Amino acid sequence: MTDTTLRRYLTQSVLDPNLIFLIEDIASSCRVIANSVRNGAFEGNLGAAGATNVQGEAQKTLDILANDEFERICSNSPRLAALVSEEVEEVTWLKEPEAGDYLLYFDPLDGSSNLDVNLSVGSIFAVMQVEEDGDRNVLRNGRNQICAGYALYGPSTMFVLTVGDKVEGFTCQHGTGDFRLTHPDMMVPAETSEFAINASRYKYWDEPVRRYIDECIAGEDGVRARPFNMRWTASMVAEIHRILTRGGVFLYPADSNNRDAGGKLRLMYEANPMAMIIELAGGAASTGLTPIMDIDPTGPHQRVPVILGSRSEVERLVSYHKT
């Protein structure tokens, strides 16, 4: 661990000061949400909120609180033009957009189904820029992201960030609340023996996915000739963090049950940010047919298939989809 705080890291960069302000506001939002998650049982905030979001998913009370904190804190950023949230159907415009203004895409509380059983949850975010005055287009592919990251609310609170070059991991220091650089230049190991998928959906999978998982499960007796472990936490943030630290591949593919919806995970504030992080850390991110960040979105809540992680495993899956 170094003495480098998130603030020092950002101020030593060549980033636009307004982007620095926005990233610090995002980190502050995550710090507040971490505290709300930690105290949820005492404050009566666990359990369902009795409402559904735009995707028709049951909202937890903390989903709504987390969204409100992102909106409240990040709206203070003077050059933030709009918010695109998983929990809000319409784009929230904060000002008339000007060239260079920022657009914030976020999933305020990923994996909230884990709250009642005290497992890890997180937040995911990405930032793009307005291209010209009056431009209200928030539907740009992931190659336009200038910043992406996530917070992990686990045994410690982590804030993992890329501003387009390296992937850096900061841990919130208990007592001070400072995010300190503890995981510099995070890289996805090239080889892996772990995969993460919801195996209960096996009957819905397409043949390329079944083939890949069957080969992994066969272990030493199969074509892979080595054992594989399966992991599944129902929290994308937790899965991706594990892949960044020890390798692996995460799959939420299109299948016969979710294909009409386009897949399960949302492109703009789940798949795109994680794809940017994984690619810059040396991994790969694909739908099975195309790189995730090359997709031109058709709506702010568009769903897509997701396969990302160690490059060799993603490339194998892509090759299976092509045969």
Binding-site sequence positions for substrate: 110-113, 198, 264
Alpha-carbon distances of 66 from 23, 59, 60, 95, 244, rounded to whole Å: 16, 11, 10, 22, 25
Q: Which has the closest alpha carbon to 238: 118, 121, 63, 86? A: 121
d(CA 259, CA 319): 20
| Alpha carbons 13 and 15: distance in angstroms, whole number | 5
Count of C-beta atoms within a 10 Å radius of residue 7: 14
Nearest to 70 by CA among 145, 18, 127, 9: 127
Cα–Cα dist 236/289, whole Å:
21
Q: How far is CA 15 from the centre of its chain?
A: 22
Neighbours of 175 (CB within 10 A): 6
Annotated binding-site residues for Mg(2+) read 86, 107, 109-110, 270
Q: Are 215 and 269 in contact (CB under 8 A)?
A: no
Q: Which residues does the annotation place in the binding site?
A: 86, 107, 109-113, 198, 264, 270
59's CB contacts (< 8 A; 6+ apart) are 48, 49, 51, 52, 53, 87
